[in-house]
Amino acid sequence: MDNANAPRPPILLTVREVADYLRVHQRTAYRLITSGDIKAIKIGSQWRVPEQALMEFLESGMKAAAPSGKRKTAPDQFKLPLD
């Protein structure tokens, strides 16, 4: 059997790993996950975030912060939805 062409399973991150990556409190990461802002799956009683879902969340913040020509924003600052 040739496993070279088998799809690679996604890397799943814990709530703590997401919080560490975003440099936010675990409660903030948990709130983003349970609200659906960061796509995640629940396995038993624990949440897991596919690495790609975290990257999509970050990209969405970068797109939302793209200058529209009317407002002047610092080019290296991005706002992510943390409500």
| H-helix or E-strand spanning residue 38 | none
Tokens of 14: 């814990």
CA 47 from centre of chain: 13
Q: What structural domains does the chain harbor?
A: 12-64 (1.10.10)
**CA 55/CA 58 separation, integer angstroms:** 5
Q: Which residue has the higher pLDDT, 75 or 25?
A: 25
Average pLDDT over residues 21-41: 97
With CA atoms as reference, report the closest residue to 40 among 10, 63, 62, 65: 10
End-to-end CA distance of the chain: 49
Could you tell me the pLDDT band of residue 61, with boundaries at 50, 70 and 90?
confident
